[in-house]
């Protein structure tokens, strides 16, 4: 794949020598960090470009893109090749989503699925591309790491991802996947979004009792951070967590990635969550500015993150009390206009990582966005049916656009077809359950 990236880079430099570029990126953490890497790398090459951040890549949007410029898609477009082949311009794609269409002549693409190599997120691919442009871009490796963590590719690191980690000079520690690991442990436990801790998450009193039971005391009127704990304290904390969290599908222990950001040591998971929050609150421009090192954006980002967490709490509270469609190994949560379309995916992810559902349960969240339905599907745990195939099979009957991965996928459906979509989706889930159980 690295050789193909070098060829990709040479062709890109040649094609963009006298043409402007449009960068089109997805609005999640991986897409935002991807865009930031490309922006910085192209600035250093004195290329002229503009940036468009999108929630979804729809056919109407593609049709409206100009044909007198080079189009560079990052963290999307692998599932839109049939639309892109109609464009009369050269197109470049750096993406890691599954692809099942023939690559058109006007498209040059780098996607790990083509090479059947280790999974690499789009930010990682963009970093490898930037590094191919110039070794000066090694300072962008940390953004590749944040994207990797954001796409949950950080626990099974292969050679390519390990090279990116080395370039970023990341410090890696083993411990509970609570974040940020650089903040006092009591606050981290109280507002834990890495995983739900019964009797602790959201309860100040529960946190204090939990830490007392684990034998972890305050140090100079404050609790230590996760990375300041001694080996003995870390062992007691892990034991206490395992007693509270009994579900097999919850990953408690893993790698904690610490990197320098704004000249401070930060937890990559917290940075990823912060960037993601900005995009979910429709502030992708601030997220990109933050990734590019604009210090003025740090205060804005903190306020957005706080507001975002309040939205999440409200959304989870609403879901807990709403009527849901449940069957064997699936649940459908149709929030309509009660939850933001940009948040429904995060909510389904939180539920999939909670102790509420058995491993393999399909969790489908639905929210309105304009005249469409935004659908986000997740698997509880790390094993289960292929959600991208499930979503694709539904839109083949109902119409719409789908994309994603095996364990996380989604689609856009016309609101007029809401009843039809729900009927077909439920039929597919019931049939799939029979097949899986057989």
Q: Which of 167, 196, 211 is the last residue of a domain?
A: 167
Q: How many CB atoms lie within 10 A of CB 145?
A: 27
Compute the C-alpha angle 270/267/38, nearest 5°. 75
**Residue 322 carries which DSSP code?**
S
Both 308 and 328 in one domain: the answer is: no
Q: What is the CATH number of the domain that holds 340?
A: 3.10.310.30
Assess if residue 396 is contained within a domain.
Answer: yes
HSE-up of residue 434 (Cα within 13 Å, Cβ side): 5
Angle at 13 between CA 10 and CA 18, to 5 degrees: 150
Give the length of the chain.
438
Measured over the CA atoms of residue 428, residue 55, residue 368 and residue 152, the dihedral's sign is positive
Are 335 and 269 contained in the same domain? no
* 164 — pLDDT class (breaks 50, 70, 90): very high
Residue 318 lies in a domain: no
Same domain, 361 and 247: no
Average confidence (pLDDT) over 80-109: 93
Choose the weakest-confidence range: 108-112, 374-378, 383-387: 383-387
Q: Token pair of 408, please?
A: 């996380």
Residue 79 three-state SS: coil
Claim to verify: residue 42 and residue 142 sit in the same structural domain: yes
- Secondary structure class of 23 (helix, strand, coil): strand
Look up the CATH number of the domain holding residue 8: 3.90.1640.30
Query: Into how many domains does the chain fold?
Result: 3
Mean pLDDT of the chain: 90
> Domain check: are 55 and 88 in the same one?
yes
Closest CA relative to residue 138, chosen from 279, 40, 5, 7: 40
Complete edge-to-edge strand list for the sheet that includes strand 49-54: 49-54, 21-26, 70-74, 91-94, 107-110
Lowest mean pLDDT among 88-92, 176-180, 272-276: 176-180
pTM assigned to the model:
0.82
Residue 64 to residue 12: CA distance in whole angstroms: 22
Judge contact between 310 and 58, C-beta under 8 A.
Answer: no
Q: Is 318:159 a contact under the CB 8 Å cutoff? A: no
Nearest residue to 349 via CA among 326, 365, 371, 334: 365
Q: Do 57 and 146 lie in a common domain?
A: yes
- Looking at the fold, whether 162 and 184 belong to one and the same domain comes out as no
Q: Are residues 236 and 385 in the same domain?
A: no
pLDDT, tens digit (0-9, with 9 covering 90-100), for 113-143: 998 888 899 999 999 999 999 999 999 999 9
Task: Name 7's bridge partners.
Answer: none
254, 286, 313 - which closes a domain: 313
126 domain-assigned: yes
Domain membership of residue 285 as a residue range? 172-313
Residue ending a domain, among 118, 150, 167, is 167
Whether 102 is covered by a domain: the verdict is yes
Lowest mean pLDDT among 169-178, 330-339, 414-423: 169-178
Position 163 in a domain: yes
Residue 415 resides in a domain: yes
- Considering the domain architecture, whether residues 303 and 377 belong to the same structural domain is answered as no
**Contact between 178 and 192 (Cβ < 8 Å):** yes
Nearest to residue 269, comparing CAs of 342, 201, 194?
A: 194
Would you say residue 203 lies in a domain? yes
Q: Are 197 and 241 in contact (CB under 8 A)?
A: yes
Share of the chain above pLDDT 70, in %: 95
Residues 302, 333 share a domain: no
Does a structural domain hold residue 319?
no
Sign of CA dihedral 354, 355, 359, 362: negative
What tokens appear for 280 in the block?
């979910």
Measured in whole angstroms, how far is the alpha carbon of residue 282 from the centre of its chain? Answer: 15
DSSP string, 287-306: HHHHHTT-TTHHHHHHHHHH
Burial 266-301 (b: 16+ CB within 10 A, else e): bbbbbbbbbbbbbbbbebbebbbbbbbeeeebeebb
| Residues 6+ away with beta carbon under 8 Å from 123 | 30, 33, 34, 37, 75, 143, 144, 146, 147, 148, 150, 151
- pLDDT tens, 377-421? 999 877 788 998 999 999 999 998 888 878 889 999 999 999 999
Examine the domain organization and report whether 191 and 158 are in the same domain: no
Contact predicate 89/83, CB 8 Å:
no
Q: Which residue has the higher pLDDT, 437 or 131?
A: 131
Q: What is the mean pLDDT of residues 67-73?
A: 96
Q: Distance from first CA to last CA of the chain, Å, rounded?
A: 39
How far apart (Å, rounded) are the C-alpha atoms in residues 62 and 51? 14
**Same domain? 367 vs 248:** no
Cα–Cα distance between 273 and 149 in angstroms, integer?
Answer: 9
Q: Is the dihedral of CA 147, 151, 153, 154 positive or negative?
A: positive
pLDDT at residue 3 tops 90? yes
Q: What is the dihedral of CA 195, 198, 199, 204, to 10 degrees?
A: 10
């Amino acid at each position: 794949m690295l050789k193909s990236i070098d060829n990709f880079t040479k062709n890109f430099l040649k094609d963009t020598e006298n043409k402007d570029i449009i960068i089109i990126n997805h609005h999640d953490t991986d897409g935002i960090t991807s865009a930031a890497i490309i922006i910085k790398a192209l600035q250093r090459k004195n290329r002229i470009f503009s940036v468009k951040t999108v929630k979804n890549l729809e056919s109407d949007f593609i049709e409206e893109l100009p044909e007198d410029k080079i189009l560079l898609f990052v963290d999307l477009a692998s599932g839109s090749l049939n639309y892109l082949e109609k464009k009369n311009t050269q197109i470049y794609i750096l993406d890691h989503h599954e692809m099942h269409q023939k690559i058109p002549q006007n498209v040059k693409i780098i996607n790990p699925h083509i090479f059947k190599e280790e999974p690499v997120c789009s930010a990682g691919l963009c970093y490898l591309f930037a590094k191919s442009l110039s070794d000066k871009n090694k300072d962008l490796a940390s953004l590749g790491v944040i994207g990797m963590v954001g796409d949950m590719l950080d626990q099974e690191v292969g050679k390519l991802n390990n090279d990116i980690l080395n370039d970023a000079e990341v410090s890696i520690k083993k411990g509970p996947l609570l974040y940020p690991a650089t903040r006092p442990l009591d606050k981290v436990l109280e507002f834990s979004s890495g995983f739900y801790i019964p009797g602790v998450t959201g309860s100040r009193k529960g946190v204090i009792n939990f830490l007392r039971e684990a034998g972890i005391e305050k140090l100079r009127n404050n609790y230590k951070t996760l990375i300041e704990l001694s080996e003995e304290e870390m062992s007691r904390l892990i034991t206490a967590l395992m007693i509270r969290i009994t579900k097999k599908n919850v990953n408690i222990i893993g790698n904690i990635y610490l990197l320098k950001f704004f000249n401070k040591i930060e937890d990559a998971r917290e940075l990823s969550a912060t960037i993601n929050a900005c995009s979910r609150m429709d502030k992708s421009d601030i997220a990109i500015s933050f990734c590019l090192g604009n210090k003025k954006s740090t205060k804005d980002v903190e306020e957005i993150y706080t507001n975002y967490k309040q939205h999440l709490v409200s959304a989870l509270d609403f879901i807990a009390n709403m009527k849901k469609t449940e069957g064997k190994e699936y649940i459908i949560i149709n929030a309509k206009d009660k939850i933001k379309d940009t948040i429904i995916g995060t909510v389904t992810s939180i539920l999939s990582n909670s102790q509420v559902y058995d491993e393999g349960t399909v969790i489908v969240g639905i929210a309105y966005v304009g005249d469409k339905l935004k659908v986000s599907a997740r698997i509880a745990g790390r094993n289960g049916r292929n959600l991208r195939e499930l979503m694709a099979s539904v839109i083949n009957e109902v119409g719409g656009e789908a994309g994603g991965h095996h364990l996380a996928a989604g689609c856009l459906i016309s609101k007029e077809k809401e009843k039809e979509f729900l009927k077909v989706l439920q039929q597919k889930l019931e049939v799939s359950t029979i097949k899986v159980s057989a």
